[in-house]
């Protein structure tokens, strides 16, 4: 019997009830087909900021309510990453080694082709592996090893739903990164869409224009926080926030940390600017 279709969720929805849901971010999707089968879909070039965001949902797999489970990591779409993202992955695996050894029974890693695949496959030769890992060239083979072939259709449908509309989402994010004050109308015109079409496409991947604008401001702030010593009040104004209080509230809402705490954490981890 095939697994039910996976449904897009917000971060809070995924935290409350992850089973049957997926959480899409800029370069990743964290999903839970069922309590005993979780997974990641990765693509592009994840930054330190992306790794931090992903880490906030990965910890849900370590909660006491979650039974020991299998994991599928589809990294076939990865184009690269930065040292900061890798350092944060290494720290996550090291700091949570004992919990991961109990939570994850085995992990199937799907690699890209060519040199990128060799680099991805070699990652677990460098970072600690608290659970058995096998590397595969395609999702089907990985699911067979996990004894989870029944989940293939739902995972494929989720992947199509996210990546099928992701060019629009990626184009919007690129536009917002360059135009932090963009309105819905100006962004839709830049993407050659109507406002209604843009909102519909965003809704299909579980995001909103308002949320993407907030995320763009946070991404810009993270670059400034990680790359220099500018006062946080100055950064708040540069990214379009009317006050330090507004900026701090926005940053904490999107990252779970204050700007100063985020800057300190990334620098301790040796993170490069996102």
Task: Show which of 124, 159, 194 is a domain's final residue.
Answer: 159
**pLDDT band with cut points at 50, 70 and 90 for residue 240:** very high
Task: Show which of 159, 175, 196 is a domain's final residue.
Answer: 159
User: Rounded to whole angstroms, how far apart are CA atoms 13 and 144?
Assistant: 29
Q: Look at residues 236, 238, 234 and name the one whose alpha carbon lies nearest to residue 249.
A: 236
pLDDT of residue 165: 55
- Give pairs for 203-212: CB < 8 Å, separation 24+: 204/8, 204/161, 204/165, 205/8, 205/24, 205/161, 205/162, 205/165, 205/166, 205/169, 206/8, 206/9, 206/10, 206/23, 206/24, 207/24, 207/169, 209/172, 209/184, 212/169, 212/172, 212/173, 212/176
**Residue with more model confidence, 111 or 164:** 111
Q: Look up tokens 């797999």; give the residue.
A: 61
Q: What strands, in cross-sheet order, belong to the sheet with 28-34? A: 7-8, 21-24, 28-34, 37-44, 69-78, 104-110, 133-136
Tell me: do 149 and 233 sit in the same domain: no
Report if residue 164 sits inside a domain: no
Is the pLDDT assigned to residue 167 strictly greater than 60? no
Tell me: do 212 and 139 sit in the same domain: no
pLDDT of residue 199: 92
**CB-CB contact of 29 with 162 (8 Å):** yes
Tell me: do 32 and 117 sit in the same domain: yes
Instruction: Say which CATH number the domain at 256 has.
Output: 1.10.10.60
pLDDT of residue 85: 83
Compute how many other C-beta atoms are within 10 angstroms of the C-beta atom of residue 253: 10
Average pLDDT over residues 95-106: 95
Is the pLDDT assigned to residue 137 strictly greater than 50? yes
Q: What is the mean pLDDT of the chain?
A: 87
Is the pLDDT assigned to residue 272 strictly greater than 50? no
The structure tokens listed for 38 are: 């979780």
Instruction: Say which CATH number the domain at 127 has.
Output: 3.30.750.24
Report if residue 172 sits inside a domain: no
pLDDT of residue 27: 83
Range of the domain at 11: 7-159
**pLDDT band with cut points at 50, 70 and 90 for residue 190:** confident
Average pLDDT over residues 4-24: 91
Across 28-37, 81-90, 94-103, 143-152, least confident range:
81-90
**CB-CB contact of 103 with 93 (8 Å):** no
pLDDT of residue 210: 93
Average pLDDT over residues 104-115: 88
Task: Give the distance between the most distant pair of CA atoms in the chain.
Answer: 57
Tell me: do 21 and 111 sit in the same domain: yes
User: Rounded to whole angstroms, how far apart are CA atoms 58 and 40?
Assistant: 9
Tell me: do 216 and 274 sit in the same domain: yes
Is the pLDDT assigned to residue 81 strictly greater than 80? no
Task: Show which of 132, 159, 186 is a domain's final residue.
Answer: 159
**pLDDT band with cut points at 50, 70 and 90 for residue 273:** very low
pTM: 0.62
Tell me: do 33 and 149 sit in the same domain: yes
Report if residue 152 sits inside a domain: yes
Tell me: do 129 and 214 sit in the same domain: no
Domain count within the chain:
2
Angle at 131 between CA 126 and CA 136, to 5 degrees: 75
Q: Could you read off the pLDDT of 249-259 as tens digits, one per residue?
A: 999 998 888 99
Report if residue 216 sits inside a domain: yes
């Amino acid at each position: 019997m095939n697994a039910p279709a996976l449904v897009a969720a917000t971060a809070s929805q995924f935290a409350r009830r992850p089973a049957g849901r997926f959480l899409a971010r800029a370069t990743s999707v964290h999903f839970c087909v069922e309590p005993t089968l979780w997974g990641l879909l990765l693509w592009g070039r994840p930054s330190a900021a992306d790794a931090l965001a992903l880490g906030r949902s990965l910890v849900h797999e370590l909660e006491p309510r979650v039974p020991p489970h299998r994991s599928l990591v589809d990294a076939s779409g990865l184009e690269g990453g930065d040292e900061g993202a890798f350092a944060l992955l290494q720290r996550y695996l090291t700091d949570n080694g004992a919990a991961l050894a109990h939570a994850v029974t085995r992990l199937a890693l799907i690699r890209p082709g060519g040199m990128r695949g060799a680099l991805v496959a070699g990652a677990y030769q460098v970072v600690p592996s608290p659970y058995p890992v096998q590397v595969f060239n395609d999702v089907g083979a990985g699911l067979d090893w996990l004894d989870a072939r029944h989940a293939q259709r739902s995972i494929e449908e989720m992947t199509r739903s996210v990546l099928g509309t992701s060019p629009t989402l990626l184009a919007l994010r690129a536009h917002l990164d360059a135009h932090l004050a963009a309105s819905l109308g100006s962004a839709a015109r830049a993407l050659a869409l109507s406002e209604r079409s843009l909102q519909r496409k965003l809704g299909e991947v579980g995001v909103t224009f308002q949320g993407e604008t907030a995320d763009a401001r946070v991404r810009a702030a993270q670059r400034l926080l990680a790359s220099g010593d500018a006062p946080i009040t100055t950064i708040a104004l540069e990214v379009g926030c009317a006050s330090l209080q507004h900026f701090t509230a926005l940053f904490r809402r999107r990252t779970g940390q204050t700007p100063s705490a985020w800057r300190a954490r990334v620098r301790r981890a040796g993170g490069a600017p996102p």
